[in-house]
Structure 1
Amino acid sequence: MDKVELPEHPIFHVVTEAAAALGTDAYVIGGFVRDLVLKRPSKDIDIVCVGDGIALAAMVAQNLPHKPKVSVFKNFGTAMLRADEWEVEFVGARKESYREHSRKPEVELGSLDDDLKRRDFTINALGISLNKQNYGELIDEFGGVKDMKRKLIRTPLEPGITFSDDPLRMMRAIRFASQLKFDIDPDTFDAITENKERIRIVSQERITDELNKIILSPTPSYGFKLLFVSGLLQLIFPKMTELHGVETINGNSHKDNFYHTLQVLDNVAEVSDDLWLRWSAIMHDIAKPDTKRYSPKVGWTFHGHEDRGARMVPKLFKDLKLPLNEHMKFVQKLVRLHLRPIALVKDTVTDSALRRLLFEAGDDVEALMALCRADITSKNDTKVKRYLQNFDKVEKRLVEVEESDKLRNFQPVITGEVIMDTFGLKPSKTVGELKEILTEAILEGKVRNEFDEAFAFLLEKGKEMGLRQGHSNN
């Protein structure tokens, strides 16, 4: 058998000694071995022993110099400890059997062979011996190393059974293909297609966790195309699949917004690892199917899809069990504003329009501009180049306006309290109207956001509305 050189770290030799003392065999297994062979960084080590994993973890912790704390999960028969930058999990070798309506297996103690058989893919069904008699020996019962060389995702056992038993493995197959830029074995992919309906028994949280990992892969469109062709995307994110297709009337066609969205996502992925900016790319045109109209005079339109899309974001996040917090608000904001910089590119750029964009985008203006650049997906290279050069000009002007007017996240110096004190008002519609008039005047450049100038403007507007300074007007 081939030997693998393990990293120089005391954890491996400490496990060897502890396993010998307990009269058990121990192996590094799964993803850590895969990543070691692929020369990818990995922070998680899984140790399987043919015996009591919790007892092995306790002895290893005692024998490590820093004597780490052991976290025990008795229900799962696992234990975990930290060794420097690594998280090390210990478990006894096991075999599994599944019931039809649950992806939670019935588990019993088993051999190393049983444990390797239960792994999802051949590239994860690898082990390295930590035993004195064959330390460093690679265990590869299912040709995982060969599959890595062929860049292939394949199940160790019959794929239909593998996916029916635990349908989340269908998402994991596509996730690994997307992360590693591997192909999925044809029989394995056919089994995903045949078992796709089984995904319904998996919790949305687990599905979304895998989906996020696909989104964070180097070229996320690859994972989404596999999800779409297999039929899984229609089940886990139907709103996105509605973007697919081209309609033609009187020879006029619109572009396929599904493939456009995937191109925008890939474009964003080239410049940013931010998950939520990538989600903004996925959602930016999500309302196009709902706003699509055809007119003989102008052809296809999607008027208001940015506002409709922004209103859809909270429900989509809720359905996907994504966080309903500042990340959702960020995506919502970028969906709502994604056409604004493009409009600035087309028109003569006024300071007023730039001020409004800075005011509304706030600290997310750079992210918005990254999304807008990614949204230029024409096959006409000259057109793309021209648009991107225009974006350069807009960004330069944004910097200039921001430096002179400081309008990013600005708050008018005249607050609601100042307005109420000045005119003897209580909280009311009038106070809101005056605040709005003042904000508009600052954004239009009629008034600078400085107290004396803004206050003089306030008194003038109050007078026009029949309000008197220092008097109760309620």
Structure 2
Amino acid sequence: MNFSKILRQNNIFEIVGQCADELELETFVVGGFVRDLILKRPSKDIDFVCVGNGISLAKMVAGKLGSAKVSYFKNFGTAMIKVDNWELEFVGARKESYRRDSRKPIVENGTLQDDQNRRDFTINAMAIGLNTSNFGKLIDPFDGVNDLKLKLVKTPLDPMITFSDDPLRIMRAVRFAAQLGFDIEGDTFEAITGTTERLSIISQERITEELNKIVLSPTPSYGFKLLYHAGILEKVLPELVALKGVDTINNQSHKDNFYHTLQVLDNVAKVSDDLWLRWAAILHDIAKPKTKRFNKKVGWTFHGHEDQGARMVPGIFKKLRLPLNEPMRFVQNLVLLHLRPISLVNESVTDSAIRRLIFEAGDDLEALMTLCRADVTSKNLAKAKKFLNNFDKVEKKMQEVESKDKIKNFQPIITGEIIMETFNLKPSKLIGEIKETIKEAILDGKISNTREDAFPFLLQLGHEKGLKAVIKDLS
């Protein structure tokens, strides 16, 4: 196969080839870019390997590209060039050997063959020549093109050695399968199941980086099922594995919450690329094993699993080295509130209940409704349609209340400063209590969030608490 026509559509490849000829360096474009070129997938990262000094090649290329931004990493013998929307990485061909207790290889200069031998999978071990003598020629020693046709993830060398040397490749195998919709070749998958204990030498950050890429794949349930069957998921996220299984008492069974969760995740993935909304889907029922009870009258219950689940979120995020700031709070809020919208369907539900949900969800309200809709996984189409129609009703009610009361992310008109000035008070717990009472009164619809309503209410509260107002008119 020859890709010279395609490569000439982007002058970067000809510039690199010209520089390689001038420096008399055999040079190739390798790895993911070649794979994606054959699959006709977009790619903005290009890896170049030369038999020799990659930094020297990068310096000359950067000079010819003019305004390119260059970063050199002399310790690793690599260089990175950012030009337009492209990220170009240059490295000398290497051969690697590994120690048992580390995934960091001992690196030596090598040939192209050495470099292809060290690649993780056959579909990533292809190279295309860039010198005048072989410009556009595909070099595919492990038949990666055929594996692309067969949709297979397969190691180029003995998979037991491949995964034992660098156990992160275990996660990468699942990630590529999930991203591309490929199968993992039989011997390769068997080697994964036999080397999972080697993941213990990989940092949690690297494992989570691959896990997030699986979460962001087109059908993430596929990746999670592979992780489960390989025995990886119980090591990485045992709380999710605990959802698996069905208990039956008195001929009454609950659904398998593991597969339900994966379906919810896929439902979210169909409509959103938001990583944290997908994590909310993964964790929305995470406390069901802890809250599962059987009641003779009503059958299986999971009372309070949303509250318990929200309490579990920070611990899971901390363990996985996920961010403990805004993303964690977003996921926690959605887990806590995911049952609330459906309870608002009843015609007798008050505006107060709707106000509270709008206020508590804040900017997360749209994401919450997306999660709630995704949570409908019934195979009974009539039942599923009824649930989804109910959510339409809830959203209409919320829109009506919000347009009238402007409650989303509202701040009470009466601030702590106003309370202190009105009663000549210093900062204290009492100020917070008064503010909370005013907020509750607004959410309950007893008063509007206006000075005309809220200030007289404040004066009344002060009177009840024995406070003397020094300011009796806010105007």
User: What range describes the TM-score normalised by the shorter chain of this pair?
Assistant: over 0.9
Alignment CA distance shift 1:457-1:240 (3 Å): same
Q: 2:288 aligns to what?
A: 288
1:87-119 residue CA offsets vs partner (Å, 9 max, x unmatched): 111111111111111111111011101101111
User: Cα RMSD between the aligned structures?
Assistant: 1.3
Q: 1:355 aligns to what?
A: 355
What's the CA shift for 1:299?
Answer: 1.7
C-alpha distance in 2, partners of 1:175/1:346? 43
What's the CA shift for 1:421?
Answer: 1.9
Alignment CA distance shift 1:347-1:177 (3 Å): farther
Q: 1:469 aligns to what?
A: 469
Alignment CA distance shift 1:330-1:7 (3 Å): farther
What's the CA shift for 1:68?
Answer: 2.2
Q: 1:276 aligns to what?
A: 276
What's the CA shift for 1:135?
Answer: 0.6
Q: 2:96 aligns to what?
A: 96
What's the CA shift for 1:429?
Answer: 3.4
What's the CA shift for 1:67?
Answer: 4.3
Q: 1:82 aligns to what?
A: 82
Q: 1:305 aligns to what?
A: 305
Q: 1:340 aligns to what?
A: 340
Question: What secondary structure sits across from 1:45 in the alignment?
Answer: strand
What's the CA shift for 1:60?
Answer: 1.1
Segment drifting more, 31-40 vs 414-423: 414-423
Q: 1:59 aligns to what?
A: 60
C-alpha distance in 2, partners of 1:326/1:38? 37
Q: 1:318 aligns to what?
A: 318
Q: 1:387 aligns to what?
A: 387
Q: 2:211 aligns to what?
A: 211
Tell me if the contact between 1:72 and 1:78 (Cα under 8 Å) persists in the aligned partners: yes
Tell me if the contact between 1:284 and 1:334 (Cα under 8 Å) persists in the aligned partners: yes
C-alpha distance in 2, partners of 1:69/1:286? 45
What's the CA shift for 1:154?
Answer: 0.7
Please give the residue correspondences for 1:360-379 in structure 2 after superposition, counting only pairs within 5 Å. Answer: 360-379=360-379
Count of residue pairs brought into register by the alignment: 470
Alignment CA distance shift 1:3-1:413 (3 Å): closer
Alignment CA distance shift 1:46-1:424 (3 Å): same
Q: 1:9 aligns to what?
A: 10
1:20 maps to amino acid: D
Q: 1:449 aligns to what?
A: 449
1:144 maps to amino acid: G
Q: Calculate the TM-score normalised by the size of structure 2.
A: 0.96
Q: 2:25 aligns to what?
A: 24
Tell me if the contact between 1:412 and 1:449 (Cα under 8 Å) persists in the aligned partners: yes
Question: What secondary structure sits across from 1:411 in the alignment?
Answer: coil
Q: 1:460 aligns to what?
A: 460
C-alpha distance in 2, partners of 1:345/1:99? 61
C-alpha distance in 1, partners of 2:458/2:75? 67
Q: 2:44 aligns to what?
A: 43
1:39 maps to amino acid: K
Tell me if the contact between 1:96 and 1:106 (Cα under 8 Å) persists in the aligned partners: yes
Q: 2:329 aligns to what?
A: 329
1:327-382 residue CA offsets vs partner (Å, 9 max, x unmatched): 11111111111111021125633211110011101111000010111111112111
2:119 maps to amino acid: R
1:60 maps to amino acid: V
What's the CA shift for 1:200?
Answer: 1.0
Question: What secondary structure sits across from 1:407 in the alignment?
Answer: coil
Unpaired stretches in structure 2, ≥5 consecutive residues? none
2:227 maps to amino acid: L
1:281 maps to amino acid: A
Tell me if the contact between 1:68 and 1:81 (Cα under 8 Å) persists in the aligned partners: yes
Tell me if the contact between 1:283 and 1:313 (Cα under 8 Å) persists in the aligned partners: yes
Q: 1:146 aligns to what?
A: 146
Tell me if the contact between 2:122 and 2:147 (Cα under 8 Å) persists in the aligned partners: yes
Tell me if the contact between 1:95 and 1:115 (Cα under 8 Å) persists in the aligned partners: yes
Alignment CA distance shift 1:145-1:464 (3 Å): same
Q: Calculate the TM-score normalised by the size of structure 1.
A: 0.97
2:84 maps to amino acid: D
Question: What secondary structure sits across from 1:225 in the alignment?
Answer: helix
Please give the residue correspondences for 1:141-290 in structure 2 after superposition, counting only pairs within 5 Å. Answer: 141-290=141-290
Please give the residue correspondences for 1:388-407 in structure 2 after superposition, counting only pairs within 5 Å. Answer: 388-407=388-407
Unpaired stretches in structure 1, ≥5 consecutive residues? none
Tell me if the contact between 2:67 and 2:83 (Cα under 8 Å) persists in the aligned partners: no
What's the CA shift for 1:323?
Answer: 0.7
2:226 maps to amino acid: L
Tell me if the contact between 1:345 and 1:387 (Cα under 8 Å) persists in the aligned partners: no
C-alpha distance in 2, partners of 1:379/1:345? 22
- State the percentage of identical aligned residues: 67
Q: 1:417 aligns to what?
A: 417
